[in-house]
Chain A
């Protein structure tokens, strides 16, 4: 059975001066449409590296990555950028919002790369903000929002162009328990109600418990696969 994301024999090596470090070793993995995958593992095990490869932010040293039937490991910089814009929503530990723009404008940024009119962009951003329960915070700058609210703005931005995949790197890593729970519930909702495929790196077993699957990465190798509740 082939998945939405097919990772075949992927290795990633970094060259640092004379030293070559292999961070990922021959990883093969399928992620199905509608999965909510939690990726766990000790610090330095290569979680972020793997996530960046799946999200098309970096290219593997060897092996192939196919998403929705398209090889992304062979795409060039521009094609990869366009592919990301169309297919991936990113959520980071530190939100990565643009500090000078309001929440509403932040959410609109990915739509600048589409053909949508200004009015349509505004409309869509409003809907996305509603979905993350921040309809009344559209005019606020990130500095005027709490961490949890900022992360929800980031989620709204990630889903605005209806991507194939949501890629999250420790989305609750910087949040208190309450806010973390809200964010996780939101991701779960997006997964269950909207059928979004989500890949989430986390250190927190509680966060992982919201996922449908959990994988462990140890020193660049997938250690163990388990199916959560």
Chain B
């Protein structure tokens, strides 16, 4: 370690170049830290044991619906306290970029989901108004909606049976506020009557998108889930019962394989990083040929000069990399909070740190190997003579 100041001196020789290089390494590993958390979030649906709410959906695709008759059968399953259901209703408000999260919801929805903060009076108003909708406060504030307003929604999937139009006109009968910050994301939704939706949409009725089940004993939720799936085994509508988190993620996964996307982005970033830092290191060694020759003259062996340059490369990447991942670790809770519970990013795990550091060492090694070899092979007499 007594050689460390030589390595440091080498890095400080061109301060601004070193700082810029460290910044680009930092940026790359910041991205790695954040995207890796996204990947982890998308790959871990959580375990079913211990949760009191599970979601029943088609085993094959979340866009395939289930018969409404399943609701009663699930409700009769031992260990089930309450069942409700919902249907996805895609649509936007005024412009396609204002995509709405619309659900047609079944009876008792708010008994199962107290998180919405929907009052009994609001639930009642919805039940009484066929074309009624409840909207979240965040969403209502964004578009300036008030109770009593008409809300035109351009449906992207279901046309209205009566009009053949895809524009549905709803009446806003309530604006709900999620009681705690963690559920704030729920305020982005528009909730409509499943009954109305079921009768009015042109694609047939008696279908539900998914069931939400509240279990009596969270410790037994895995067994209850198995019993529910057994109801439709070998039918044309086999189900898969999973945690809400897992269910939500399967929505997001429809966009594509997040793990693959993340890996591809990170791979491209690191490849660019290697070209950049490789060039920096090559330049750094080229400039220092006389100094490296001097060290050899003074008795540094070829191998120790190789080690010095190698260490320099490692240090460059490690400093930037660790700073980048530390910054990512600091930002993850901020990102999660800013998303209002939509995106719950886990903190960087020990495993991710280990992989990150291994990546830094690997990149440092790959980038350092050629310059280090060049330094090692340097012939003193030629270098001193400027040949």
Contacts and interface: CB of A to CB of B under 8 A. Distances in A.
A interface bracket (residues with beta carbon within 8 Å of B): 20 to 34
Grouping DSSP codes into helix (H, G, I), strand (E, B) and loop, the B interface class, with mixed when no group exceeds half, is helix
Contact of A98 (B9, B299, B303): B9
Interface in B264-321: 290-291, 294-303
B13 interface: yes
Contacts of B297: 55, 57, 84, 90, 96
B14 to A, nearest CB: 10
A84 B301 contact: no
A92 interface: yes
B380 interface: yes
A195 interface: no
A118 B5 CA distance: 12
Interface in A67-107: 77-78, 81-82, 84-86, 90, 92, 96-101, 105
A118 B6 CA distance: 14
Given A52-B381, A98-B291, A99-B291, A81 B9 contact: no
Contacts of A90: 297-298
A81 B12 contact: no
A99 B291 CA distance: 8
A110 B381 contact: no
Contacts of A86: 299
Nearest to A83: B299
Contacts of A119: none
A57 B380 contact: yes
B302 A78 contact: yes
Contacts of A27: none
Contacts, number: 66
A219 to B, nearest CB: 19
B301 A58 contact: no
Contacts of A96: 290-291, 294, 297, 384
Nearest to B290: A96
B382 to A, nearest CB: 9
B3 interface: yes
A83 to B, nearest CB: 8
A109 interface: yes
A70 to B, nearest CB: 15
A84 B298 contact: yes
Nearest to A163: B299
User: Which of B6, B10, B297 lies at the interface centre, i.e. has the most chain A CB atoms within 10 A of its CB?
Assistant: B297
B2 interface: yes
B181 interface: no
B291 to A, nearest CB: 6
B354 interface: no
Nearest to A96: B294
A57 B294 CA distance: 11
B385 interface: yes
A135 B279 CA distance: 40
A88 B297 CA distance: 9
A100 B381 CA distance: 23
